[in-house]
Amino acid sequence: MIARNGAIRWVGQNVHLLLKNGIIIGFRAAARDITERKLSEQRLKESEERIRQLADAASEGIMIHDSSVILDVNRSMLQMCLYDYHEVIGRKVEDFVLPRSRNIILQEKACGCDNPCEALLRKKDGTTQLLEVHEKSIMYQGKPAKIVVLLNSTERKRGEKPPPESEELFRMFVETAPEAVFVHAGRRFVYINRATLTLFGATSDDQLLGQSVMSRYHPITMQPSMSV
C-alpha cells in the first residue's frame, strides 16, 4: 500500500467473505502493518547474499551447521574434502573427520570453549589433512547456527600468514546480525554492532562506546546483575 506521505507500506490481511443465499455480497477484512517484518526479512536476505559472496571468494574452507548437520559450505571447503556440494549438505560434521579428532571436537563443545582446535579431515579419496578449526555462533536464515572456518594447519605451522577473509566473514556476520551483539570490559562498551545501536536508541557508536553497560538497564534489573 502507498501511505499518504508516499511511503510504501506492507500490509497483511485476513479476508472473510460475506454470503447470502450462497451469493457473495461482500467481505470483511482485518489488516495489520507488517512493513518492519518485511524490511527485516529483506535485510537478512541481503546480508546472507553478501556473506555467500564473501565465503565463495575466501581461500579458507567454510561451513555452516546446526547441531552438527551441515547446512552450507563454500567452494574452498569442497576443494579441501574432494566432495561435491550435494554429497556434503545434510550430513554430520563428524562424518568428515577421523575418530580421534571427533573426540577433541566434542570435548571443546562440552566445555563451551571458543578456542581454535586441530582436526584431521577425511577426504573422499581416503587421504587426510590437518586443519585448524575456528567456530563461532551466528544467525543463519533467521535461526541460530554455527560457522566453521577451516585453515590448513600445516601451512600455518610453516609460518605462512593466513588470508584475512575469515576475520572479515566473522565481522560481517556480527555487523549484519539482526540481534544486538556487544562486548564490554569493566562493564563499559568496547564494541557494538548496528542492532545494538537500535536496541538502545543510539544513532552513533560514540553514544555508547566507553559508556557504562549498566546505565542502559532499568534499575530493577541492575541489582541482580551487580550481585553476580
pLDDT in tens, 109-152: 655 556 678 888 989 998 988 888 888 887 777 788 888 888 88
CB neighbours of residue 54 within 10 Å: 17
- Backbone region of residue 68 per phi and psi (left: phi > 0; alpha: psi in -120 to 50; beta: other values): left
**pLDDT value for 205:** 82
CB neighbours of residue 99 within 10 Å: 9
Average pLDDT, the chain: 77
**pLDDT value for 216:** 79
- CA–CA gap between residue 161 and residue 134 (Å, rounded): 16
**pLDDT value for 83:** 95
**pLDDT value for 226:** 42
Q: Is the dihedral of CA 180, 92, 82, 159 positive or negative?
A: positive
What long-range pairs does 83-87 form, CB within 8 A, spacing at least 24? Answer: 83/124, 87/124
Q: Indicate whether 39 pLDDT > 80.
A: no
**pLDDT value for 69:** 94
DSSP states of 7-40:
-B--EEEEEEEEEETTEEEEEEEEEEE-HHHHHH
Q: Indicate whether 50 pLDDT > 70.
A: no
Q: All domains of the chain, ordered by start, with CATH?
A: 39-176 (3.30.450.20), 182-226 (no CATH)
**pLDDT value for 91:** 95
At residue 182, the 3 state secondary structure works out as: strand
**pTM exceeds 0.85, yes or no:** no
Tens-digit pLDDT profile for residues 142-182: 788 888 888 887 655 555 555 555 555 666 666 766 777 78
Q: Strand pairing of 69-73 and 128-140?
A: unpaired
- Residue 200 or 179, more confident: 200
Q: Strand pairing of 188-192 and 143-152?
A: unpaired
Q: Indicate whether 47 pLDDT > 70.
A: no
Tens-digit pLDDT profile for residues 91-108: 999 899 887 777 766 666
Q: How far is CA 198 from CA 102, 202, 213, in A?
A: 40, 6, 15
Find out whether 61 and 149 touch, Cβ atoms under 8 Å.
Answer: yes
